[in-house]
C-alpha cells in the first residue's frame, strides 16, 4: 500500500476524533442553555408568586381606603340628620347610612378573603424560593462541570489537531485535495475494498480496479460513492478495521417501508445504526442498532438494491428527529430514478 494511503487511513481516524470532539464542544453550550432555561422557569414562578402578593396588598389597601371613605360619609349623614325638618328627609338619610354600612361590610369581607389567601400565597412563595435555591445550586454546579469539560475537550482537540496536521503534512497535495473533497460530501473519505466490493456503498468493483486496489500502488476511487479505496489483507483485516471511525452513508432503500425509505447508515465505535425516513412523507419509519457489527454486514439485504443519496447537511438525522422538512425531502426524491419515485401522499 502506498504511503499516502496508509497516512490517509490514520488521518481518517484522527478526523473522526476531531469531529467528535468538536461536536461535544458544540453540544456543551446547548446543555448549559437547557439547564438555564429550567432555572428561568423557577425564577418565573417566584416572580409570579411575589407579584400576586403585591397585587393582594394593593387590593387590600384599596378596600381599607374605601372603608374610610364610607365611614366619613356615615359621619356626615349623622351630622346632617340632626338638622332635618321632615320625616321623609330623615328616613332618606337613614337609608343612605344603612346602604353605606352594608358597603363597609362588603369591603371587610373582601379584606378577610385576602388575608386568608395571603397565607397560601406566602406558602407558595416559600416553596418556589426553596426550589429556586436548590436548582440554582444545581445549575451552578452543572455549569462549572460543563466549563471544566469544555476546557478538557479543547486540550484534547489541540493534541488531536497537532496529530492531524502532522499526518496531512505527510500526504501529497493532490491526494489530500481528493480526500478533503470526498470527506466534505460523504462524511468519510476512505472505504475498504473487500470481496470485490466497496464496503461503504456495497457496489461491486470492476475486477481490474479491485486488483489494482489490492496491489496498492495507485489510488482508486469508488465509481459510485467516490470514496478512496484501500485494501487490507484478510489476516490483518480484523485488527485493521478502525472501530472509532464514524462512517456515515445516506441511501435510498426501495425494499424498506411501503414507499421505500431514505436511510442514514452509520458505523461508530464498533456498532452499527440506521434511521429510516419514509420516502413519500419524510416521517421516521424506524431506528435499529447492532452491536459489534458494521451496517454493511448487519443489513446487507437492505443494501443489495440501495442507492446512494447526497445530503449536504451534516447530522441531518439529529436535527430532524421525527420528520424530514419538505425542501430536504424533495431534494432527496429528485435524486431517484423515475421508477423509484414514491407516489404523492403515499404513507408508510
Average pLDDT value for residue range 18-23: 88
Helix, strand, or coil here: 171? Answer: coil
How high is the pLDDT of residue 118?
Answer: 87
Average pLDDT value for residue range 62-83: 90
CA dist list (Å): 278 to 289, 323, 346: 18, 9, 9
Domains and CATH numbers, the chain: 3-169 (1.10.287.1490), 178-340 (no CATH)
The alpha carbon dihedral of 25, 267, 253, 221 has a sign of positive
Greater confidence, 62 or 37? 62
Of 175, 186, 155, 169, the C-alpha closest to 16 is: 186
- Where does the pLDDT of residue 274 fall: very low under 50, low under 70, confident under 90, or very high at 90 and above? very high
Q: For residue 347, is it left (φ>0), alpha (ψ between -120 and 50) or beta?
A: beta
How high is the pLDDT of residue 241?
Answer: 44
Helix, strand, or coil here: 208? Answer: helix
pLDDT in tens, 207-243: 888 989 988 888 899 998 999 999 987 544 444 444 4
* DSSP H helices in 248-339: 295-298, 300-303, 316-319, 326-334
How high is the pLDDT of residue 240?
Answer: 46
Average pLDDT value for residue range 99-122: 90
Per cent of the chain over pLDDT 70 is 94
Average pLDDT value for residue range 42-65: 90
State how far the Cα of 130 lies from the Cα of 136, in Å rounded to an integer: 10
As a whole number, the mean pLDDT across the chain is 86
Greater confidence, 2 or 107? 107
Strand order in the sheet with 247-253: 284-290, 271-278, 261-268, 247-253, 307-308
How high is the pLDDT of residue 186?
Answer: 86
Q: Are 203 and 223 in contact (CB under 8 A)?
A: yes
The alpha carbon dihedral of 147, 149, 153, 156 has a sign of positive
Amino acid at each position: 500500500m502506498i504511503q499516502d494511503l496508509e497516512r490517509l487511513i490514520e488521518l481518517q481516524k484522527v478526523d473522526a476524533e476531531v469531529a467528535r470532539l468538536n461536536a461535544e464542544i458544540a453540544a456543551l453550550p446547548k446543555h448549559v442553555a437547557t439547564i438555564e432555561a429550567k432555572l428561568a422557569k423557577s425564577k418565573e414562578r417566584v416572580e409570579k408568586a411575589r407579584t400576586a402578593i403585591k397585587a393582594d396588598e394593593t387590593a387590600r389597601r384599596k378596600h381599607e381606603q374605601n372603608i374610610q371613605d364610607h365611614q366619613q360619609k356615615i359621619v356626615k349623614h349623622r351630622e346632617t340628620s340632626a338638622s332635618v325638618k321632615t320625616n321623609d328627609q330623615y328616613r332618606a338619610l337613614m337609608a343612605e347610612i344603612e346602604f353605606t354600612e352594608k358597603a363597609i361590610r362588603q369591603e371587610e369581607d373582601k379584606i378577610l378573603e385576602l388575608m386568608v389567601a395571603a397565607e397560601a400565597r406566602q406558602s407558595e412563595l416559600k416553596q418556589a424560593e426553596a426550589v429556586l435555591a436548590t436548582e440554582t445550586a444545581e445549575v451552578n454546579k452543572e455549569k462549572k462541570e460543563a466549563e471544566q469539560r469544555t476546557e478538557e475537550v479543547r486540550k484534547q482537540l489541540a493534541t488531536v489537531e497537532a496529530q492531524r496536521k502532522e499526518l496531512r503534512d505527510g500526504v501529497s497535495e493532490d491526494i489530500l485535495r481528493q480526500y478533503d473533497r470526498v470527506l466534505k460530501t460523504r462524511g468519510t473519505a476512505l472505504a475498504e475494498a473487500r470481496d470485490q466490493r466497496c464496503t461503504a456503498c456495497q457496489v461491486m468493483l470492476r475486477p481490474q480496479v479491485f486488483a489494482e486496489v489490492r496491489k496498492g500502488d495507485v489510488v482508486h476511487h469508488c465509481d459510485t460513492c467516490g470514496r478512496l479505496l484501500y485494501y487490507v489483507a484478510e489476516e490483518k483485516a480484523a485488527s485493521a478495521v478502525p472501530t472509532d471511525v464514524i462512517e456515515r452513508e445516506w441511501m435510498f432503500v426501495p425494499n424498506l417501508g411501503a414507499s421505500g425509505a431514505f436511510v442514514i447508515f452509520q458505523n461508530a465505535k464498533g456498532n452499527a445504526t440506521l434511521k429510516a425516513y419514509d420516502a413519500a412523507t419524510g416521517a421516521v419509519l424506524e431506528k435499529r442498532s447492532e452491536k459489534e457489527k458494521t451496517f454493511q454486514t448487519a443489513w446487507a439485504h437492505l443494501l443489495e438494491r440501495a442507492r446512494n443519496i447526497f445530503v449536504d447537511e451534516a447530522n441531518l438525522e439529529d436535527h430532524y428527529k421525527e420528520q424530514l422538512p419538505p425542501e430536504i425531502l424533495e431534494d432527496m426524491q429528485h435524486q431517484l430514478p423515475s421508477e423509484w419515485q414514491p407516489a404523492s401522499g403515499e404513507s408508510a
